[in-house]
Structure 1
Amino acid sequence: MTSQNNIFEPGENCWVESNATFAAPLIDCANYYKALHSSIVKAKHSIFIVGWDIDSRIRLIRGEDEAQSSAPSVISDLLKWKAEQTPDIQIYLLRWDSSLAFFAQRELWAKEAWDEKTPDNVKTELDDTIPMGGSQHQKIVVIDDELVFSGGMDVSTNRWDTRDHPVVSEERDGPDGEYGPLHDVQMVSSGPVVADFSKLVRWRWQRVANETPIAIRDNANINIDAPIPAAWPESYPPIFKNVECALARTIPFMDEVEPAQEVRHMLLDLIGQAESFIYIENQFTTRQEIAEELNRQLKLKPNLNVCIVSSYEPKGKFECEAFWASRIQFKTILESGISPERVKMTYSSIEDMQGKRAYKRIHSKVMTIDDKYLVIGSSNLSNRSMTLDTEIDTVLYGNTPENKQSVVNVRNDLLAEHTGRALEDMPAIFEQPNPVEALMQGQIAHGYILTEVRDEIFTEQSTANLFRSLSDPEEPLISIPTPDGTVLPARNPRRRSIMIAIGVTIVAVMCGLMYWASQSIPWLSSDSINAFLEESRGTYFALPTVLMVYVVGGILFFPVTVLSLAVAAIFGPIWGPIYGMMGALLSSAILFGIGKLSGNAGLKKLGGPKVAAVDEKLKRSGIVGVAAIRMLPIAPFSLVNLVAGISSIGIIQFLVGTFLGMFPPMIAKGLVGDSIAQIWQNPSVETISYLVAGIALWGLMIWGSQKFARYYQQRKQAASNEKQQDNESEECVA
């Protein structure tokens, strides 16, 4: 039975009112990932993961836990292992589709990566139904319909950290290198509330996938008096027992979906319940409506104190001008007319014994109201989280003395971490007349301390700017009128559409540059090049001139066949191919280097797993593969050079393959080019015969190279299959 003393009103400030038989906060990612790993290993029926991101490369456990585990630590390997160990299990991964703003942080080809790494009973979908400007921001994992993880944490890059948050950590390694300390909070729960989460994740999945996922288990043990479920993570005993709770959502206006702003109403109602202390830790604090309500309650209740913990410095211009500029306004509204001893907006930082400083990045979304309520969710105190993103917050109510004390213990535990204090020292802080001021005083040197934010050092206050309208909007960025006079929000562009647009743009730019060069550079024509080469014949500058022509022509995508024929016509059937080959190799090497730099700069990621598979085949085929590509005119010479640089093939392999593939046709081109020159000067049966023979030899070499490449690949594949069979036989014997 639920109590009538809480403020939960389904349909107003929450979606549903429920109970959690057991619940425990999981503070910081090392604890959450370890707990998630433990529960996935124990799963038997189904796993649903819904997130802003689900990165296949993330290691869930580290150190001794990783060394002693019989299950893989990387999440994609773990889910593959679980799917193969338990063939009847169904695993569903729902990740927000890509956004241009986060290309550098996320796997560009997430669905393809997951599909390639996991068997058929692991299904992946990308949610592209969110209105433009919004995001899929719920972070939920439901296991066996008996256990749920929810809160602020994603399985994503630059998230993992331990509770001590060292200044330097080798384990905090992201795509761009080491990142700084990061704080977050998730929660694991069981009992009746899991049934609501099970419905939510299935509704989300069905909207995107247009298919019905596995049904909720009829025999799921989620009664209020149910024991701890089998999938409960080891090392994390419950802190709350039989606790009343509610789920509050933000659902944006989408096609055929009723919008909901339950989070917004819930937070305002909770603030109105406070009497002595409101504690908030949140990634962003920009929603002025929240600041106004906090200020109003502070004026109404002289004994009320408010402490907010957030991050120190912004990441990038958008975050600075959208969120930090708005935080200045939030702070001004919050503190207006209030004694500074009663309210503080702070960040947590440390300076160690060696003088190294670190600022803790706050990613959590937590609020406590006295000893009455604890909120652990996905919602920031921002405009977008109240209206435009999909959000889910769990609100626990202290319905028993034990649960009231647990609310206090969670608050004290978090503040102890941020101020470098021991947990047992925290109760005395809250016995002081001004606990907020007491928190700021007596903090230990060389440990984490709270400091009041001063955002003016990063940006000037701005009432409205483009960055804010793009990064923290309340409404979709684009709405489309309909024939009946209403409007529908435009969706975020699909990742696939973005990738196609990028590819088309790159090709269009290259074609435009080539056309511009052909029209604007007078000497970039066959006649001009022939005249230029002709002047160097018989001089010491002949070879340097040919090399320069090949390099410049390669960069400008000038056809290499035209160059080779011109060089052969001018320098003859012997020196023509030799000079031409040297020029082609130098041009290949330079463009290969440009491609290598582009690939290392991130261009390689744009290709995705399918291109990576082709790349791997090219790497395995090595010299012969390159030679075959060179003999077969399937792509422009310069484009092959650039793509090879972006690929994984080595430059020595590439140049040797280029030589073997181009030199025989170069000889044929020498005969053809020289024959053309001879025919032009002295047409005869002999010169025409040389031309015909050269063209025939050219075609024969292309045909022969194709045959040889196929033969070589078949031999290589047969040898690889034989070796694999031998290895399997040895394993069987062992």
Structure 2
Amino acid sequence: MSNPGSIFQQGENCWVSSKATFATPLIDCANYYKALHSSIAKAKHSIFIVGWDIDSRIRLIRGEDEANSEAPSVISDLLAWKAEQNPDINIYLLRWDSSLAFFAQREMWAKEVWDEKTPDNVETVLDDTIPMGGSQHQKIVIIDDEVVFSGGMDVSTNRWDTRDHPVESAERDGPDGEYGPLHDVQAVYAGPLVKDFAELVRWRWLRVAESQPIDIRQDAKNSLEDGIPEAWPDAYEPWFEQVECALARTIPFMDEVEPVQEVRNMLLDLINQAQRVIYIENQFTSRQEIAEALNRRLKECPELNVIVVSSYEPKGRFECEAFWASRIEFKKILFNDVDTDRIIMSYSSITDEQGRAAYKRIHSKVMTIDDNYLVIGSSNLSNRSMTLDTEIDTVMYGNTEHNRRYIARMRDDLLAEHTGRTVEDTAQLMQQDNPARAIIEGQLAHGYILTQVNDEIFTDQPSDNLFRSLSDPEEPLIAMPTLDGQSMPVRNPRRRTIMIGIGVLIIAILGGLMFWASQSISWLSADSINAFLEKSRGTYFALPTVLLVYLVGGLLFFPVTVLSIAVAAVFGPIWGPVYGILGALLSSASMFGIGKLLGNAGLKKIGGPKVEAVDQKLKQSGVVGVAAIRMLPIAPFSLVNLVAGISSIGLFQFLAGTFLGMFPPMIAKGLVGDSITQIFRNPSPKTISYLVGGIVLWGLMIWGSQKFARWYQERKQSQKAKSEECVA
């Protein structure tokens, strides 16, 4: 079925054609997050959030808005507040699972973090159904089945910025510190279109979650006759009214789901409708098919101008050689045999009056075709967005004079931001015979300006290279043959699988190194250590020798029990334990320091909230907890030291607990070690009884430490319960 006047063809270039009673673009993240905060705070029935990322740490509102709001500003606090305030509300979070490639920006243990921070009526699921190499790239939020947000923005790190995009901003603070200006576009809709989004989101949810179908609310106000819904965000008046819309998707072949390339078909069809101005702003422009379609239309329509706005410099080698190298080829195809005054392929930058420069990062996915069509979506002009990622673009058609006027306003507003002009001045320039040349000429100094891209300064690689095949593929990276002779794409590995694999790899490497050391280092054996210690006995170097042995042994994960028995065997039942505990404390402190460095470098993040919970228990139990752990042979000595350094416990607490937990068993080990030596030198019932007594004492101390640790934990829990009763 096609809508009269529009090019929308369901099943060809779109999934559904519908209408939005109201629609408003939300330009740049400060506006989107503010609007999202407002709608979430108003929610009464349900909230669905689907995204490439959903980061629990993000502050949605800042400044006066944050100071004056009764609702929390951080999204995890906001959703927890909403869920506790209204136990009948259901909140569903669907986030892409695979995140290893984005370790520095994304929360590694997202599900566990959300489960820990929110009540039971907030359910989090990680989507692992995407084929290898692809990503879940749709960004959708639905409130009460009455309001939907969709476009290019996730609730993620390094996204927030205001429309003026200052060169420096303390509020632009990400995991790696301050980031530069970033531009993006989302939109909010009400009306029948919301039901279509609600159907799409529920389909995605049921593919991953183990739950019953979730009905769309029957009494939701999302018909053409309904007014502005209650959950519509404050401070954002509708731009479009009764506007015809279409939803175009990209869905890859996954788990026998039929692939869909509606986005690709829609963009090609839209380009063929252009007469005067095509405006594009997009994160990536690497799809040569799109460049060919633009060039062909430029040749067919002599009055047509094309304006493309993207980013200046690539982030990392993969982006450079995959997308920037491809943009060189995209530009060549676009400009081929066409008057260059009719085309701008540009980036937006600023050099302020203090001489500070900044380049605006473009993350939006927007296209306008004259004043007839406006696309706000999630799709880049890349291979992966056309075939491999899950995408959703909303296309609005200028079915009335009012809506056509606002499509033109959207284009002019965006160009005004990128060129430092007013919307009114930009609108006048766009009416000239050659709007592309007019918009790039006469730009003012010390404001944002558009400049033609020159990607050869970043790379001379051809676009057809290994980086592109990995970063911007058209097909899944790995596919397995099936019994019917077809092929099934292999899914992206689950985050849990990745982490288990990393853990197994680390253990295998450590085990291999220890085996290699035991076979290759002649002095790393009990006999060699005994001989080395024997040479120092009775000299001034006895204690330094023991300390050196413990220090090196700790770094090589050599068993501390073997060291303790060896030291006792050489230095006797008195000085052996004394030297041993000093060596153990030195080894503990050194490995603790290494653990502290590793923890600060990111191992705490890899460990996730479960490790954090253990960390908190260790910190709360303090000296006694460490002593109990030391008495129990539950993990290698050096590993405990390393993990303690990664944790939040203090060095003094750790060493004090180590002393209390190790010195009593050290005395028992001293008796055992000395008894072994005496048996070899002078076997007798007396020396054998010392050995048996030492082993029994050692066992009793382990048993006693278990009893004591259990009693101590029960006592603390009892005290905590009494304290809570008193507060209640």
Shifted more, 520-529 versus 430-439: the winner is: 430-439
Please report how far the alpha carbon of residue 675 of structure 1 lies from its aligned counterpart in structure 2 after TM superposition.
Answer: 1.6
Alignment of 1:497-536 (within 5 A): 497-536=497-536
Shifted more, 455-464 versus 717-726: the winner is: 717-726
CA distance in 2 between counterparts of 1:486 and 1:196 reads 32
**Residues 84-133 of structure 1, C-alpha deviations (whole Å, 9 max, x = no match):** 11111111111111233222221111111111111121111111111111
CA distance in 1 between counterparts of 2:622 and 2:711 reads 14
CA distance in 2 between counterparts of 1:369 and 1:212 reads 42
- Give 1:292's aligned residue: 292
1:316 maps onto 2:316 in alignment: yes
- Give 1:732's aligned residue: none
- Give 1:351's aligned residue: 351
- Give 2:113's aligned residue: 113
State whether residues 321 and 463 of structure 2, in contact with CA within 8 Å, keep that contact through their aligned partners in structure 1. no
Please report how far the alpha carbon of residue 68 of structure 1 lies from its aligned counterpart in structure 2 after TM superposition.
Answer: 1.1
State whether residues 205 and 213 of structure 1, in contact with CA within 8 Å, keep that contact through their aligned partners in structure 2. no
Please report how far the alpha carbon of residue 27 of structure 1 lies from its aligned counterpart in structure 2 after TM superposition.
Answer: 0.5
**Residues 410-458 of structure 1, C-alpha deviations (whole Å, 9 max, x = no match):** 1111111111111221122113332112211222221111111111111
CA distance in 1 between counterparts of 2:648 and 2:213 reads 39
Please report how far the alpha carbon of residue 461 of structure 1 lies from its aligned counterpart in structure 2 after TM superposition.
Answer: 3.6
Please report how far the alpha carbon of residue 52 of structure 1 lies from its aligned counterpart in structure 2 after TM superposition.
Answer: 0.5
- Give 2:668's aligned residue: 668
State whether residues 99 and 106 of structure 2, in contact with CA within 8 Å, keep that contact through their aligned partners in structure 1. no
CA distance in 2 between counterparts of 1:94 and 1:718 reads 39
- Give 2:57's aligned residue: 57
CA distance in 1 between counterparts of 2:79 and 2:605 reads 23
Please report how far the alpha carbon of residue 576 of structure 1 lies from its aligned counterpart in structure 2 after TM superposition.
Answer: 1.1
State whether residues 629 and 661 of structure 2, in contact with CA within 8 Å, keep that contact through their aligned partners in structure 1. yes
- Give 1:326's aligned residue: 326
- Give 2:651's aligned residue: 651
Please report how far the alpha carbon of residue 696 of structure 1 lies from its aligned counterpart in structure 2 after TM superposition.
Answer: 2.2
- Give 1:492's aligned residue: 492
- Give 1:29's aligned residue: 29
**Residues 161-220 of structure 1, C-alpha deviations (whole Å, 9 max, x = no match):** 111111111111111111111110000000111111011001111111142343111112
CA distance in 1 between counterparts of 2:296 and 2:618 reads 67
State whether residues 577 and 666 of structure 2, in contact with CA within 8 Å, keep that contact through their aligned partners in structure 1. yes
Please report how far the alpha carbon of residue 599 of structure 1 lies from its aligned counterpart in structure 2 after TM superposition.
Answer: 1.2
**Residues 133-156 of structure 1, C-alpha deviations (whole Å, 9 max, x = no match):** 111100011111111100000011
- Give 2:441's aligned residue: 441
Shifted more, 643-652 versus 501-510: the winner is: 643-652
CA distance in 1 between counterparts of 2:575 and 2:86 reads 68
- Give 1:697's aligned residue: 697
Shifted more, 358-367 versus 101-110: the winner is: 101-110
**Residues 338-366 of structure 1, C-alpha deviations (whole Å, 9 max, x = no match):** 22211011111111222221111110000
Compared CA separation, residues 695 and 210, structure 1 to 2 (3 A): closer
1:556 maps onto 2:573 in alignment: no
**Residues 472-518 of structure 1, C-alpha deviations (whole Å, 9 max, x = no match):** 00011111111111111111111111111011101111111110100
Letter in 1 for 2:19: N
Letter in 2 for 1:401: E
Letter in 2 for 1:208: V
Please report how far the alpha carbon of residue 25 of structure 1 lies from its aligned counterpart in structure 2 after TM superposition.
Answer: 0.1
- Give 1:731's aligned residue: none
Alignment of 1:242-391 (within 5 A): 242-391=242-391
Alignment of 1:10-29 (within 5 A): 10-29=10-29
Alignment of 1:561-600 (within 5 A): 561-600=561-600
- Give 1:451's aligned residue: 451
CA distance in 1 between counterparts of 2:720 and 2:209 reads 39
- Give 1:172's aligned residue: 172
CA distance in 1 between counterparts of 2:78 and 2:205 reads 22
- 2:658 is paired with a residue whose SS is helix
- 2:672 is paired with a residue whose SS is helix
CA distance in 2 between counterparts of 1:249 and 1:351 reads 39
State whether residues 79 and 118 of structure 1, in contact with CA within 8 Å, keep that contact through their aligned partners in structure 2. yes
Normalized against structure 1, the TM-score is what? 0.98
Alignment of 1:171-250 (within 5 A): 171-250=171-250
CA distance in 1 between counterparts of 2:24 and 2:683 reads 93
- Give 1:152's aligned residue: 152
**Residues 643-681 of structure 1, C-alpha deviations (whole Å, 9 max, x = no match):** 111111111111111111111111111122112111211
State whether residues 2 and 8 of structure 2, in contact with CA within 8 Å, keep that contact through their aligned partners in structure 1. no
CA distance in 1 between counterparts of 2:212 and 2:149 reads 22
Letter in 2 for 1:426: T
- Give 2:414's aligned residue: 414
State whether residues 585 and 658 of structure 1, in contact with CA within 8 Å, keep that contact through their aligned partners in structure 2. yes
Letter in 2 for 1:725: E
- Give 2:609's aligned residue: 609
- 2:488 is paired with a residue whose SS is strand
Shifted more, 618-627 versus 706-715: the winner is: 706-715
CA distance in 2 between counterparts of 1:299 and 1:336 reads 10
CA distance in 1 between counterparts of 2:697 and 2:200 reads 69
Shifted more, 206-215 versus 451-460: the winner is: 206-215
State whether residues 591 and 645 of structure 1, in contact with CA within 8 Å, keep that contact through their aligned partners in structure 2. yes
1:129 maps onto 2:129 in alignment: yes
CA distance in 1 between counterparts of 2:602 and 2:314 reads 24
Letter in 2 for 1:90: N
**Residues 296-343 of structure 1, C-alpha deviations (whole Å, 9 max, x = no match):** 111111111111110111111111111010000001100111222110
Please report how far the alpha carbon of residue 2 of structure 1 lies from its aligned counterpart in structure 2 after TM superposition.
Answer: 8.5
Normalized against structure 2, the TM-score is what? 0.98
CA distance in 2 between counterparts of 1:461 and 1:559 reads 52
- Give 1:398's aligned residue: 398
State whether residues 347 and 452 of structure 2, in contact with CA within 8 Å, keep that contact through their aligned partners in structure 1. yes
- 1:451 is paired with a residue whose SS is strand
- 2:345 is paired with a residue whose SS is strand
Letter in 1 for 2:207: R
State whether residues 329 and 461 of structure 1, in contact with CA within 8 Å, keep that contact through their aligned partners in structure 2. no
- 1:273 is paired with a residue whose SS is coil
State whether residues 90 and 214 of structure 1, in contact with CA within 8 Å, keep that contact through their aligned partners in structure 2. no
Letter in 2 for 1:219: D
- 1:445 is paired with a residue whose SS is coil
State whether residues 322 and 463 of structure 2, in contact with CA within 8 Å, keep that contact through their aligned partners in structure 1. no
CA distance in 2 between counterparts of 1:427 and 1:186 reads 22
Cα root mean square deviation, aligned: 1.3
Alignment of 1:671-690 (within 5 A): 671-690=671-690
Letter in 1 for 2:313: E
CA distance in 2 between counterparts of 1:2 and 1:229 reads 28
Alignment of 1:610-625 (within 5 A): 610-625=610-625
Please report how far the alpha carbon of residue 693 of structure 1 lies from its aligned counterpart in structure 2 after TM superposition.
Answer: 2.3
Aligned-residue sequence identity (percent) comes to: 76
State whether residues 328 and 461 of structure 1, in contact with CA within 8 Å, keep that contact through their aligned partners in structure 2. no
State whether residues 310 and 362 of structure 2, in contact with CA within 8 Å, keep that contact through their aligned partners in structure 1. yes
- Give 1:104's aligned residue: 104
Letter in 2 for 1:583: G
Please report how far the alpha carbon of residue 3 of structure 1 lies from its aligned counterpart in structure 2 after TM superposition.
Answer: 5.0
CA distance in 1 between counterparts of 2:424 and 2:463 reads 44
CA distance in 2 between counterparts of 1:242 and 1:533 reads 88
Letter in 1 for 2:332: T
Letter in 2 for 1:443: Q
Compared CA separation, residues 710 and 443, structure 1 to 2 (3 A): same
- 1:379 is paired with a residue whose SS is coil
